[in-house]
Amino acid sequence: MHKGLLKRLLPHVVLLVFSSAILFPILWMLRVALTNKMNAYQIPPVWGNPNFNNFIEIFADNSFMGYFVNSLSIAIGTTLIALPLAAAMAYSFARYNTGGLPLRLAVLSSQMLPPVILVLPLFSLFLKASLLNTQTGMIIAHITISLPFLAWLLVAFFEGDIVIIEQAARIDGATRLQAFLRITMPIMAPGLLAAGLLSFILSWNEFLFALILSGPQTNTLPVGLSSYQSHRGVDIALLSAAAICAILPVFILLPLMKKHLIKGLSLGAIK
């Protein structure tokens, strides 16, 4: 009986340990954000009454709100453009084998390149095209990151059992376009939602391209967070408050889309 109980409890204990290791830094950051600047550096920590002065201070700074709005606009713009392009690319790969294996490998290999290799050519191109320090330029740069990843993710959906349903619709008289719009896309909705969410997160967290290609008017949150470090040191209380605000949208989105995200990533749209 004790062995059976231990066997049932062990997975929960392991999951609890790993969950604690992931959540502890976030909870510690929240503690620092809710304390005053003098106590933020003290080790062992000083536990006092929580206050929201750090959050009030960062939102009183128009720069932080600008960073937040820029990140939101660029992430949404990147997702809205990259997702349909990736869906079309994936459909072409799955149905027509466009370019064959070499083209697929070329798309995949672009994900293996370090971003620092891509950012310098993009800087030169954007400089000539007057796209530096513009949201349009940042969206184009982020699409170069998201598009190959999303295309490879969506190919698996288009190559699944959905092919049989699409063929059945064609036999019933639907054109390829009608079958794609009325059959494939509704069934693909969980996969598209999962891909869109991952694209949003990739753009939201991207730092290097934003650091090199953006400017004072288009700096995103990752770049803005680095501004809390100066020659005098790191303002850890304000940085923690800003970081909590930066990860908050993802924490809000994930519970709302968890069901569709799991269904999409597990290829469970068709049973």
pLDDT at position 271? 43
Q: Tell whether 118 is covered by a domain.
A: yes
Q: How far apart are CA 38 and CA 54, in angstroms?
A: 12
| pLDDT at res. 269 | 43
Would you call 205 exposed, middle or buried from its count of C-beta atoms within 10 A (0-12, 13-18, 19+)?
Answer: middle
| CATH number, domain with residue 231 | 1.10.3720.10
Whole-model pTM: value is 0.84
For residue 218, give both structure tokens.
């288009």
Q: Is residue 47 part of a domain?
A: no
> Is 4 a domain residue?
no
Dist CA 193 CA 50 (whole Å):
37
Taking the C-alpha atoms of residue 54 and residue 60, their distance in angstroms, rounded to an integer, is: 10
Give whole-number Cα distances, 171 to 24, 94, 174, 176, in Å: 56, 19, 7, 10
Task: Provide the domain count of the chain.
Answer: 1
Q: Provide the residue range defining the domain that includes 186.
A: 60-265
Per-residue pLDDT in tens (0 to 9) along the chain, 271 residues? 566 777 778 888 888 888 888 888 888 888 888 888 777 777 777 777 788 888 888 888 778 889 999 999 999 999 999 999 998 888 888 888 887 778 877 877 777 788 888 888 999 999 999 999 999 999 999 999 899 888 888 887 787 777 888 888 888 888 888 888 888 888 888 788 888 888 998 999 999 999 999 988 899 999 988 888 766 777 888 889 999 999 888 888 777 666 666 655 555 444 4
What pLDDT is stored for residue 118 in this prediction?
Answer: 86
Q: Give the number of other CB atoms < 10 A from CB of residue 60.
A: 9
pLDDT for 262:
63
Q: Is residue 222 part of a domain?
A: yes
Q: Is residue 46 part of a domain?
A: no
Angle at 76 between CA 75 and CA 78, to 5 degrees: 65
Is residue 13 included in any domain, yes or no?
no
Closest CA to 153 of 110, 89, 106: 89
Residue 109 lies in a domain: yes
Please indicate, yes or no, if residue 167 is contained in any of the structural domains: yes
Residue 129: the pLDDT is 92
CB 222 within 8 A of CB 210: yes
